[in-house]
């Protein structure tokens, strides 16, 4: 999925250092990575039939199961909650690491809190370089976005974070329609069931704007003196190529996900102030992309952009 920052799950102090390195709020729980289903059973108080079916179908792979936690787990892993999020990754180096350590690893994404997830080792060096002991480089990530998170303790099961494994695949495997909260619903104030799914998240330094009418907005932003980047699904014109940083995106959602964070990292490297993003198609296969882009573009009210200067808008 993306690069992770791992600590042995039963080492309270090591897990604590994850929160420090990331600047992560203590109320945001971590995903525990296991070698196999047996490893997951040990971490849970009640391993349900649904959890078993989903694990059998999708593990190893990019699916995280929220289940009732075993009392012996250190409290900081689950942020004090009564459930634990578990998954079994299919990345070979990660699997080898878990096997060699002989214990599950608690691991969120290897970035500072709210910032872009890393999809290659270089991103980790830039984001967390001085703050972690060791970086393992396994090349670019295959998926490029974070795992799907599903709460198996609710009825029907509920997708807390959309990701590479879709709602229909999950529903089909379980034989019941699983529920999902659309990002547009999340924008309304509500109690968050999955604490890490804060609104501003996955964000580059550049201010992200989703748009259906890029040409006129590009002109406006250039007239205001901003350095503009454009994450686009269409072919830019010649004059556009001369004045802005164009980042061409694939029109397939899986390929789009694979390069999304890297393109956003690139926009930051180019010193872009505003990153315009073409709004992707409104089809179900794009739901995880919409989720990440909407969060990346979310800015809280205190950071009024209109009145801020080019350099102080963060
Ligand atoms: P990350 O920090 O990017 O690895 O994302 C991990 C995410 O998994 C968290 O931010 C939560 O959204 C989700 N998560 C972890 N544990 C739980 C849990 N017990 N219940 C619900 N969601 C969880
Ligand atoms: Mg993260």
pLDDT tens digits, one per residue of 8-63: 999 999 999 999 999 999 999 999 999 999 999 999 999 999 999 999 999 999 99
Residue 151: partners with Cβ closer than 8 Å, 6 or more residues away: 66, 83, 157, 158, 159, 160, 193, 194
Our CA angle for 167, 115, 199, nearest 5°, is 55
- pLDDT given at position 302: 33
Ligand 1 pocket residue status of 70, Cβ below 6 Å: no
Ligand 1: which residue has its CA nearest to atom 17?
A: 85
Instruction: Give the residue with greater pLDDT, 200 vs 69.
Output: 69
Which whole number is the average pLDDT over 182-201? 56
Ligand 1: which residue has its CA nearest to atom 4?
A: 108
Omega cis (within 30) before 60? yes
Q: Which atom of ligand 1 is nearest to the CA of 108?
A: 4
Q: How far does the centroid of ligand 2 lie from the alpha carbon of residue 236, in Å?
A: 32
- pTM for the full predicted model: 0.91
Name the percent of the chain lying above pLDDT 90. 82
Ligand 1: which residue has its CA nearest to atom 21?
A: 194
Residue 306 scores a pLDDT above 80: no
Q: Which of 29, 44, 159, 201 to mutate to test the pocket of ligand 1 (most atoms within 8 A of CB)?
A: 29
Ligand 1 pocket residue status of 148, Cβ below 6 Å: no
Ligand 1 pocket residue status of 166, Cβ below 6 Å: no
Residue 168: partners with Cβ closer than 8 Å, 6 or more residues away: 284
Report which bound ligand comes closest to the CA of 152: 1
> Per-residue pLDDT tens for 256-294?
999 999 999 999 999 999 999 999 999 999 999 999 999
Q: How far does the centroid of ligand 1 lie from the alpha carbon of residue 261, in Å?
A: 19
Instruction: Give the residue with greater pLDDT, 146 vs 181.
Output: 146
Q: How far apart are CA 145 and CA 162, in angstroms?
A: 10
Q: How far apart are CA 163 and CA 63, in angstroms?
A: 8
């Amino acid at each position: 999925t993306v690069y992770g920052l791992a600590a042995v799950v039963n080492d309270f102090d090591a897990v604590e250092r994850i929160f420090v390195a990331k600047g992560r709020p203590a109320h945001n729980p971590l995903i525990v990575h296991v070698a196999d289903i047996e490893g997951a059973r040990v971490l849970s108080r009640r391993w349900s039939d649904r959890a078993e079916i989903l694990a059998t179908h999708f593990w190893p792979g990019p699916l995280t199961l929220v289940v009732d936690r075993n009392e012996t787990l250190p409290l900081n892993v689950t942020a004090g909650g009564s459930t634990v999020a578990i998954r079994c990754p299919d990345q070979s180096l990660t699997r080898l690491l878990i096997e060699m350590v002989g214990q599950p690893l608690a691991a969120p994404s290897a970035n500072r809190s709210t910032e872009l997830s890393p999809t290659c080792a270089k991103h980790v060096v830039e984001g967390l370089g001085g703050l972690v002991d060791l970086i393992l480089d396994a090349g670019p990530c295959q998926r490029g976005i974070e795992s799907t998170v599903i709460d198996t303790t609710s009825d029907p099961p509920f997708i807390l974070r959309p990701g590479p494994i879709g709602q229909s695949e999950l529903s089909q495997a379980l034989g019941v329609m699983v529920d999902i909260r659309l990002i547009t619903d999340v924008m309304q104030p509500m109690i968050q069931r999955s604490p890490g799914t804060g609104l501003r998240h996955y964000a580059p330094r550049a201010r992200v704007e989703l748009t259906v009418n890029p040409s006129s907005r590009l002109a406006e932003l250039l007239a205001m003196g901003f350095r503009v980047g454009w994450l686009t699904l269409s072919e830019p014109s010649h004059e556009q190529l001369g004045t802005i940083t164009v980042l061409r995106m694939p029109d397939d959602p899986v390929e789009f996900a694979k390069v999304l964070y890297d393109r956003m990292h690139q926009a930051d490297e180019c010193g872009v102030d505003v990153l315009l993003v073409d709004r992707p198609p409104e089809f179900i296969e794009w739901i995880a992309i919409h989720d990440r882009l909407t969060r990346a573009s979310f800015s809280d009210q205190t950071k009024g952009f209109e009145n801020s200067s080019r350099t102080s808008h963060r």
